[in-house]
Amino acid sequence: MAQGDYIQLHEKRYGKRLDHDERQRKRKAREVKKRSRVAQQAIGLKGKRIAKQNYKDKVQMKRTIAMHEESSTRRKVDDNVQDGAMPAYLLDRDPTTRAKVLSNTIKQKRKEKAGKWDVPLPKVRPVAEEEMFKVIRTGKRKTKQWKRMVTKVSFVGPSFTRKPPKYERFIRPTGLRFTKAHVTHPELKCTFNLDIIGVKKNPNGQMYTSLGVITKGTIIEVNVSELGLVTPAGKVVWGKYAQVTNNPENDGCINGVLLV
Amino acid sequence: MAVEEGRDASVMCLLTNPEGEPLGAPLYLPQNIGPPQLQEIVNKLLDNEEKLPYAFYISDQELAVQLGSYLETKKVSVEKVLRIVYQPQAIFRIRPVNRCSATIAGHTEAVLSVSFSPDGKNLASGSGDTTVRLWDLNTQTPLFTCTGHKNWVLCIGWSPDGKHLVSGSKSGELISWDPQTGKQLGSPLTGHKKWITAISWEPVHLQAPSRRFVSASKDGDARIWDISLKKCVISLTGHTLAVTCVKWGGDGHIYTGSQDCTIKVWETTQGKLIRELKGHGHWVNSLALSTEYVLRTGAYDHTGKTYSSPEEMKEAALARYNKMRGNAPERLVSGSDDFTMFLWEPALNKNHKARLTGHQQLVNHVYFSPDGQWLASASFDKSVKLWNGITGAFVATFRGHVGPVYQISWSADSRLLLSGSKDSTLKVWDIRTHKLKQDLPGHADEVFSVDWSPDGEKVVSGGKDRVLKLWMN
């Protein structure tokens, strides 16, 4: 007989202890405290592992709670007059996919001409050149110091080919190149993962704009064709500007808000 | 030599009407004749007192040149009998609209439905701000604001004699209004448990003055109401899901299309189910009748004649209806979420006459042209398709919209088609050339509803940007 089955066999023959359920309940109740003590005391790799697991559990729990709450709050109220009236032929269709607003490309064009931006982040921390670039020493004796490596996230167009190393003054590391950004539409309150078309303006300087460096506060142009925005003349809007709101080099992703 | 030339230069032709019935025996026609001469021949053969315009089609393609050059370009054998289909055209011509003549603000929420009265003199709109508004077309200003609904006004319907206006709301009640004063007539008609999806009036040639109308609702019922008794006369139950569309046919049957994929035909004295038309694989979104335009406008035609008594009106409407229908049965077309349409002849049998495929997204709206020769369908695949209204054969696709096409409307002479789309534009299409005639941008947001007035002068459109736009030429 397998070693572990003796307990089961015993339980089968003589039944469980009379206070078995009670003991189980108490053990379960103490379990939390025990786990927290272990988590607090554990150090090193073990501690890390436990912390990671706990974090994961917590996120999962929060997500489940949020889901439950949503399903109970998102109840259709028929008796009140709601905003966003729709004709009868659209009432049964899924309204969440109909994310769309007025587009005002004219406003955007005007802004572009003036060169001034009424943006969500009006001021940004100036980034020094030493922070932006890392000096790379080249030459046989590593004495030359004319080469720079960009230490921030950058956008590099699809048609870019590197120059020969002799002429390449700025290196944009492939690990820090991004092609997509998470852009939030401020009125719809929903976020889309959109392709970046280009860097419109980096507030730290023209050179960074032309290099395609993306730091916090940079205006980027994103491809919004899949959102289905239309101009007053009935054409699909293709590109729209967005401002970066996070520090992409720290976070590993680009978050931004659409400028409408 | 001369004799031979003479023989070469003629071709055996058979003139037929759109239903395929020949007009007299086949006859030899010289090859140098074109549509104007053919028109004279047809007018002569039909003994028409006044000359009517006709268009000529050979194997579904319009004949625009002389017979001889047609035969040459198409390489048609001269030994066979050439079948030429003649189609009567409207004797009046409606000019395409090309400018926005007025933008009337007033509604404080999206405009969900707009409709001209059958005589084209009044205009009503229903909106998400729970009001129905009547507009003065001469001064292009608001006339009356009808408050009374508790929720969005989803659909409105003019009685074919123009004396009543009925509106249905999202909370399921119907209110009838007097278009002359803008006052509510009686208390709201309640009975439906969910929102109203469509309203259709009894044709005026069956009863004048108009009393009864039918409403369809999300709760799966259609109800016949009597406006003078102010109550529900018959409840048509049987659909298991929401009824999306209802039409009151010219022979006194009611057709309902539902989300349970069926179309039901009801008889109107006792509300019995006569037929069930099955075939669709998904929701039925829209129904259209070949005689719909005549039923809608009742006794009013392009001449702008007015009638003093209901009996006179009834007679005139019956004459118009019979002329329009001819001796063929009424045809019904249904557009569905399964991307297809079916052409039915519900009076003859319960199987479909044709299946119309080609759309790549759901079909939201179908509409027969006023003369019944054409059939247009608006789809979410951003296109409008034109079909032969008698056989159901595909004719043309109108592309140009960049968003789903919501609604379409015909001009009274069947030569132009109007479409309103989510991309905030209206477009006018030419049926003859299959081309875009006019692009009408101007709305700031989705266009939910369009209507071309029966007299052809104006077009109205309403949408999410809360304004009503009037378009003229």
The tens digit of pLDDT for each residue in A216-255 reads 999 999 998 887 777 777 778 889 999 999 999 999 999 9
- pLDDT band for A260, please (50, 70, 90 cuts): confident
> Are residues B37 and B84 located together in one domain of the fold?
yes
Handedness of CA B365, B456, B196, B382 (dihedral sign): positive
pLDDT of the residue at B243: 93
For residues A198 and B38, what is the distance between their CA atoms, to the nearest angstrom? Answer: 63
For residues A144 and A132, what is the distance between their CA atoms, to the nearest angstrom? Answer: 19
Question: Tokens representing B413?
Answer: 């002479």
The more confidently predicted of residues B274 and B79 is B274
Q: DSSP states of B201-224 as a string?
A: EPPTTTSSS--EEEEEETTS-EEE
DSSP B158: E
Contact B132, B167 (CB under 8 A): yes
Q: Is the pLDDT of residue B101 over 80?
A: yes
Rounded to 5 degrees, φ, ψ at B78 are -85, -5
Mutate to test the interface with A, among B127, B150, B419, B423 (most CBs of A within 10 A): B423
CA dist A234 → A185, B420, B421 (Å): 20, 11, 9
Mutate to test the interface with A, among B111, B425, B439, B451 (most CBs of A within 10 A): B425
Cβ atoms within 10 A of the Cβ of B260, count? 18
> Are residues B245 and B119 located together in one domain of the fold?
yes
> Are residues B393 and B354 located together in one domain of the fold?
yes
Contact A234 B155 (CB under 8 A): no
Give the end of a domain, one of B61, B88, B115. Answer: B88
Q: Is the pLDDT of residue A176 over 90?
A: yes
**CB-based contacts of B373-376 (< 8 A; 24+ apart in sequence):** B373/B18, B373/B87, B373/B414, B374/B414, B374/B431, B375/B288, B375/B333, B375/B343, B376/B408, B376/B410, B376/B417
Per the DSSP assignment, residues forming a β-bridge with B30 are B10
What CATH number is given to the structural domain containing B41? 3.10.20.90
DSSP B465: T
Residue B2 lies in a domain: no
Residue B93 lies in a domain: no
The more confidently predicted of residues A91 and A83 is A91
Burial classification of residue B60, based on how many CB atoms lie within 10 Å of its CB (0-12 exposed, 13-18 middle, 19 or more buried): exposed
Q: Which of 282-321 (B) contact A at CB < 8 A? A: 283, 285-286
pLDDT of the residue at A106: 45
Give the end of a domain, one of B40, B59, B88. Answer: B88
**In the predicted model, what is the mean pLDDT of residues B201-215?**
89
Cβ atoms within 10 A of the Cβ of B101, count? 13
Contact B29, B67 (CB under 8 A): yes
CA dist A69 → A158, A166, B283 (Å): 44, 60, 32
Helix (H, G, I), strand (E, B) or coil at A76: coil
pLDDT of the residue at B163: 87
- Of all residues in chain A, the one with the smallest CA distance to B401 is A234
Contact B277, B352 (CB under 8 A): yes
pLDDT of the residue at A92: 80
User: How many CB contacts within 8 angstroms connect chain A with chain B?
Assistant: 89
CATH architecture for residues A129-258: Roll (3.10)
What CATH number is given to the structural domain containing B322? 2.130.10.10
Total domains, chain B: 2
Q: What share of chain A has pLDDT > 90, as a percent?
A: 55
DSSP B187: S
> Are residues B146 and B27 located together in one domain of the fold?
no
For residues B141 and B134, what is the distance between their CA atoms, to the nearest angstrom? Answer: 9
- pLDDT band for B3, please (50, 70, 90 cuts): very low
**In the predicted model, what is the mean pLDDT of residues A141-151?**
93
For residues B108 and A85, what is the distance between their CA atoms, to the nearest angstrom? Answer: 11
> Are residues B336 and B361 located together in one domain of the fold?
yes
- Of all residues in chain B, the one with the smallest CA distance to A101 is B445
Rounded to 5 degrees, φ, ψ at B454 are -60, -25
CA dist B13 → B57, B167, B214, B391, B432 (Å): 12, 53, 48, 22, 23
pLDDT of the residue at B62: 80
The more confidently predicted of residues A258 and A106 is A258
Angle between helices A44-73 and A20-41 (to 10 degrees): 120
For residues B48 and A127, what is the distance between their CA atoms, to the nearest angstrom? Answer: 88
pLDDT of the residue at A78: 52
Query: Which domain, by its residues, includes B29?
Result: 10-88
pLDDT of the residue at B2: 39
pLDDT of the residue at B7: 47
Give chain B's mean pLDDT: 87
Interface residues of chain A, partner chain B, Cβ below 8 Å: 78-79, 81, 83-92, 100, 102, 228, 230, 232-236
Q: How far is B174 from chain A (nearest CA, A)?
A: 14
**In the predicted model, what is the mean pLDDT of residues A12-24?**
94
> Are residues B278 and B259 located together in one domain of the fold?
yes
Handedness of CA B259, B261, B265, B266 (dihedral sign): negative
Contact B459, B452 (CB under 8 A): yes
Among B248, B210, B261, CA closest to B346: B248
Contact B448 A100 (CB under 8 A): no
Contact A100 B446 (CB under 8 A): yes
Q: Is the pLDDT of residue A91 over 80?
A: yes
Residue B256 sits at the chain A interface (C-beta within 8 Å): no
> Are residues B103 and B28 located together in one domain of the fold?
no
Handedness of CA B213, B217, B219, B220 (dihedral sign): positive
Q: DSSP states of A201-213 as a string?
A: E-TT-HHHHHHTE
- pLDDT band for B4, please (50, 70, 90 cuts): very low
Contact B170 A230 (CB under 8 A): no
For residues A39 and A49, what is the distance between their CA atoms, to the nearest angstrom? Answer: 10
Give the end of a domain, one of B31, B53, B88. Answer: B88
pLDDT of the residue at B399: 92
CA angle A162–A167–A168, rounded 5-degree value: 45
**In the predicted model, what is the mean pLDDT of residues B451-470?**
89
pLDDT of the residue at A118: 66
> Are residues B70 and B144 located together in one domain of the fold?
no
> Are residues B116 and B60 located together in one domain of the fold?
no
Q: DSSP states of B101-136 as a string?
A: EEEE---SS-EEEEEE-TTSS-EEEEETTSEEEEEE
> Are residues B235 and B285 located together in one domain of the fold?
yes
Contact B190, B205 (CB under 8 A): no
> Are residues B246 and B344 located together in one domain of the fold?
yes
> Are residues B378 and B402 located together in one domain of the fold?
yes
**In the predicted model, what is the mean pLDDT of residues B171-176?**
91
